[in-house]
Amino acid sequence: MSELGAGTRGASLGFDAMMIASFKEDRKFFKKLRPEFIQHENHRLFEDIKTPFAKRLDGITKVYGRVEAKVDEVLTDGDFPIVISGDHSNAGGTLAGLKRHWGEQRLGVIWIDAHADIHSPYTSPSGNMHGMPLATALGEDNLDCKIVKVPEETARLWNKLKGDNPRIRYEDLIYIGVRDFEKPEEYLMIRHRIENITVPRYRDLGLEGSMDIVTQRLEHCDKIYVSFDVDSMDPSISRGTGTPVPGGFKVEEVEQIILRLIDDPRLCCIEFTEVNPVLDDKGNAMAETAFRILKSVFEKLENQGK
């Protein structure tokens, strides 16, 4: 599990923490899931950062390629990919893999997260790449909000990460729970009219009202991918994630949302990300919560024959 894109250490331990959590409820669960592991580049965490505006971009570029190939392979084998990643930068590789497999079919993205994750090396205040995966998929530099001059080698690797053509369209993206973003991200959200079902809005609309908005937003998509960052939930559950933000979902709410999204026959992949047991202030609570949701998701997918 790669954690090169995060600003704090520990997300690479998320899968192990979820496996430990499974011992309480279903110790044979991961045998049913048949995990496949992707080689990471976490040794680069001990090396000097060569690309400060997109930290460890060289290693992340390699991880992206491996994730892309594995997602494509799993789909080619006729299986449904459930991706359990370290930090959220890996989602860019997942999206690349989906695009490689589905080609010209339109991919809808449901981003369940506290953060917009649409920065580029030109706009990021931290240079942490877990805030950039959507920009890689959209082919977005956001030069209108440029705050730094990016060196040539960084720009070259960044362009390689984005690929030759955008993998998704702005009109095929919807946020759920996003509540923490910077001005450059807000600029893109407004300019491209990205739909955002905030936590208060969800509670006002209810599940079905919110799902109506999702369906309408993605009505022209052929396939749908769901990315679930555990920081979409409120920190009162646990601070076992890299960037917790107050005002998030209750466990029951986010589980309800994800299980409802599985009903869409276009769903082709779901990703769990940013579980960090090193930061957990309640033992292994975040991993236990994530595992319960994962188990519910798997059981429903299995019942649907996916």
Q: Are 79 and 106 in contact (CB under 8 A)?
A: no
Catalytic residue among 3, 41, 87, 117, which? 117
Count of helix runs (H) and strand runs (E) in the chain: 10, 6
The closest of 265, 270, 252 to 110, measured between CA atoms, is 270
Residues 6+ apart with CB under 8 A from 161: 57, 60, 61, 64, 92, 136
Asked about 229 being catalytic, the answer comes back as yes
- In angstroms, the Cα distances linking 66 to 60, 71, 170 are 10, 9, 25
Catalytic residue among 3, 68, 140, 229: 229
From the list 231, 234, 255, 280, the catalytic residue is: 231
Give the span between the Cα atoms of 98 and 69, in whole angstroms. Answer: 9
Q: Is 219 a catalytic residue?
A: no
Residues counted in the chain: 306
DSSP E strands: which ranges in 69-143? 82-84, 107-112
Active-site residue 231, yes or no? Answer: yes
* First-to-final CA distance of the chain: 24
- Known catalytic residue at 58: no
Residue linked to tokens 């599940």: 207
26 assigned to active site: no
| Options 88, 172, 234, 280, the catalytic residue | 88
Whether residue 43 lies in the annotated active site: no
Catalytic residue list contains 274? yes
Q: Which of 3, 41, 68, 113 is catalytic?
A: 113
How many whole angstroms separate alpha carbon 54 and alpha carbon 155? 9
Burial 247-276 (b: 16+ CB within 10 A, else e): ebbeeebbbbbbbebbebeebbbbbbbbbb
Closest to 47 in 3D by CA, of 63, 65, 59, 38: 59
Q: How far apart are CA 151 and CA 57, in angstroms?
A: 12
Out of 87, 130, 140, 255, pick the active-site residue. 130
Rounded to the nearest 10 degrees, the angle between the axes of helix 57-76 and helix 152-162 is: 10
Catalytic residue of the set 40, 68, 87, 115 = 115
Q: Catalytic one among 182, 274, 280, 288?
A: 274
Examine the residue annotation and report whether 119 is marked as an active-site residue of this protein. Answer: no
Enzyme catalytic residues: 88, 113, 115, 117, 130, 229, 231, 274
